[in-house]
Amino acid sequence: MITGASAGVGRAAAQQFARSGADVALLARNGDALDKARAEVESYGRRALAIPVDVSDADAVEGAAFAIESHLGPIDVWVNNAMVTVFSPVALLQADEVRRVTEVTYLGTVNGTLAALRRMLPRDRGVIVQVGSALAYRSIPLQAPYCGAKAAIRGFTDSLRTELLHAGSRVRVTMVQMPALNTPQFDWCRTRLSRKPQPVPPIFEPDVAARALVWASRHKRREVFVGASTLAAIWGNRIAAPLLDRYLARAAYDAQLADEPIEPDRPDNLWRTVPGDRGAYGRFSDRASNSSRELWLTTHRSLLLYVCAVGAGLACIAAARLSGR
């Protein structure tokens, strides 16, 4: 079950789960794009169910969960991915905009998590995957509502994880912290900037995020970090937050602005979906990487430990032979 499945990371994740042999339920507001996403899942020979839903509506999410289990069976994996954002200095934000970003990005995750738990806890199995961000640890200028929502998701998830451990539950929750991604959101998010918004480089294709989500759903990891830039942001904030504040104050404004000016009649998806199907990818494919060394190291940790152990053993043997001479 994937929220925000009509575009971007959610769209790529739906395809990746289908490739791996899963039936997929898709939730988002854009019914036309959902139908295209459903057809993509079915093209891999898997069953799919598309339900237009605004995840900020808890009753609608609960109703969708009931419909999913009625049509496809028990939900094994629930991916909370839906989001909206506003690019704006804090001083220019409107209260209803902040509330809307919070309701979709944070409370949408809460609503999805609660609906999943109502089904998974009695069965004592299932995985909840929260789509996080480096911004859950290190906020940047011009996206305060989104940064706040992602940080709130991390706090909520940490509390839930400890409660599941306390109860001895086999239901598992994990959070995948994402880097900058080449998704369509930069073409339809609300913005008060004079130029088009863009992700802060380095940029990764949504397929990288999708592979991380599938892997996280099948391996016991507390968190999965995608991209060296994600780790750099997290550790930089832990080690030298004041210095990072000053660096972002100088560099993070222009880094989020493309050269193209904003069209005066540009629609946004804050309150209602933008018509049409944008698919999984944004306009930055010429600058986006389809691989992540950090993700590879994460997903091959056992192999790396084995290689290190063999290397240490060989070193010990060599040292023993030298000492015996």
For residue range 270-308, list pLDDT tens digits in order.
Answer: 999 999 999 999 999 999 988 877 776 877 565 555 455
Q: What is the pLDDT of residues 123-166, one digit of tens each?
A: 999 999 999 999 999 999 999 999 999 999 999 999 999 999 99
Name the pLDDT band for 46 (thresholds 50, 70, 90): very high
If asked whether residues 99 and 26 sit together in one domain, one would say yes
CATH number at residue 135: 3.40.50.720
Same structural domain for residues 167 and 311?
Answer: no
| Co-location of 261 and 312 in the same domain | no
Q: What is the DSSP letter of 73?
A: -
If asked whether residues 258 and 138 sit together in one domain, one would say: yes
Nearest Cα to Cα of residue 114 among 78, 150, 144, 143: 78
Predicted confidence (pLDDT) at residue 322 exceeds the cutoff of 80: no
Catalytic residue set: 146
Same domain, 90 and 134: yes
Record the pTM. 0.90
Structural domain total, the chain: 2
Whether residues 245 and 303 share a domain: the answer is no
Average model confidence (pLDDT) for the chain? 93
Same domain, residue pair 232 and 296: no
Q: Are residues 86 and 164 in the same domain?
A: yes
> The domain containing residue 299 runs over which residues?
292-325
- Does residue 71 sit in the same domain as residue 213? yes
- Which of 145, 142, 105, 124 lies closest to 3 in space, CA to CA? 105
The answer to whether residues 273 and 309 belong to one domain is: no
Helical spans, DSSP H, in 73-170: 95-101, 107-123, 144-167
What percentage of residues in the chain have a pLDDT greater than 70? Answer: 92
In a shared domain, residues 222 and 207: yes
Same domain? For 204 and 324 the reply is no
